[in-house]
Amino acid sequence: MSADDNSDMKTERSSSRIEAIDVLRGFALFGVLIVNLDTEFRVTFFEQFAPQYATAADRLVRTFIGFLIEFKAITIFSMLFGVGLGIQAGTLAKRGPVRLLLARRLLVLLCFGLIHLLLIWNGDILTEYAIAGLVALPFILGPPKLMLVACAASLLVFLLFCFLPPALIFPGPAWMARHVLDARQAYGHDGFLALLRFRLTEVPWIGIFDVFIFPRTVGLILLGAWAWNSGLLQAGRADTRLLAKAGLTSLVLGLLLCWLDGAGLPAPLTLPAALAHIVDVLAPIVSAIGYSALTIAYFDRLPAGLASLVAPVGRMAFTNYITQAIVLGLLFSGYGFGLLGRVGVIAGVGISIAIFAIQSLVSQWWLSHHYYGPLEWLWRTGMYGRRQPWAREPSVPAPRGVVAGGRRAEPGGNAPAGRVYRPQHGAGPAVGTAPGGPAGQGWAGTVRAQPAPPSG
């Protein structure tokens, strides 16, 4: 085998691994959408703590959401934020002061997060990601062992937070009952400015929850960055079979812990308080690790059509996350269609599927004409302090190792000579899309439209 063949095979494996991360991020965003719609748009924020269901079918679907998706999707999203920071750290090391560029990247994200939090939706997670990322940054740039120790310490702090009296975290029942009535009026009937004023009064109360989960967020970011920096997720350095076995074991164990914790399904027994807190912390994390490892390990066995539908949403996850909040606000708030309290769980899942399907089509189209999603482009431009590449050229020769229809050529092989390819779905380099998302070589089912701009 020639040196060129070897190089092409390494590039192919690296590209496949980045593609798998894009797909995983897309799946995670879909899960986040389902949960957010069900718990924070279909009803008001505090109603999720005393849920009511119109039908037995709604209750059953909600059970599956709680057991299989809730807290797992956002956990994967948080870990992928860390993976993205790890990839960015390695990429940026080749072209400038890593610490400064990553700090600027996170500060720009903080600006986006504050705008989202104050003007669009107070359930924002970007602000917390930006601050948690700044806290985690010194460890991400340090040795993997120190990163893992900091991760464990952060999760331990979160576990200790779980032993705090609920009164320090949750408002009292009487306050919540009054607030739910006010919130139904504000969210379901008030205009945009009146609702904006009401949302701002909620920020301190919701902020308490953000402070409560902050150590967990830091820990998950560090866990994701460690998984990348240690080589666990890097193509050529990871044992796919071992990853698959570890993923299956983690998923089975995680879902068992979820059952014991009463997440969705009725708990089979009552655990001692201390053990219940430990299970509550571990269950979604272990489950999320299982989902993630299996998706990455078996990525090459996914139907090509499925990967090509999900990956573009993952590559534009920052734009799609903000867009979801805007669309859901228009659907459920009084200044829009006013569907608050009028949509059941099953209908909510249907709306989520429709939104995600539209985002998939729009993302594929957009990435066939542009290098990055619009917010991803603004984010990168803010980080570098200069305008980044924007639109693609209409047609260029297909790159080495990729053929039409998204099927890869044999390692070291070329696409048919002389053929000119139009950009396909999402063509181009995969770039950090979800907060902290990774830079990479592209995703399944694509043909690059032109030479890639600098990634990172």
DSSP letters, 261-277, are HTSSSPPSSPPPHHHHH
Residue 397 in this model has a pLDDT that exceeds 50: no
Instruction: Name 391's bridge partners.
Output: 370
At residue 438 the predicted structure's pLDDT band, cuts being 50, 70 and 90, is very low
Local structure of 48: helix, strand or coil: helix
**DSSP symbols for 281-339:** HHHHHHHHHHHHHHHHHTGGGS-HHHHHHHHHHHHTHHHHHHHHHHHHHHHHSTTTT--
In the prediction, which pLDDT does 352 show? 98
- The H or E element that residue 385 is part of is none
Mean pLDDT of 62-68: 92
- The H or E element that residue 181 is part of is helix 173-189
In the prediction, which pLDDT does 53 show? 82
Question: Rounded CA gap, 87 and 103, in Å?
Answer: 15
Most confidently modeled of 66-70, 126-130, 159-163, 389-393?
A: 126-130
Query: In percent, how much of the chain has pLDDT > 90?
Result: 60
- pTM of this structure: 0.83
Question: Rounded CA gap, 170 and 31, in Å?
Answer: 25
> Could you tell me the residue ranges of all domains in the chain?
18-344
Mean pLDDT of 9-17: 53
Q: Nearest-CA neighbor of 356 among 320, 325, 304?
A: 320
In the prediction, which pLDDT does 239 show? 75
Residue 124 in this model has a pLDDT that exceeds 60: yes
Q: What is the mean pLDDT of the chain?
A: 82
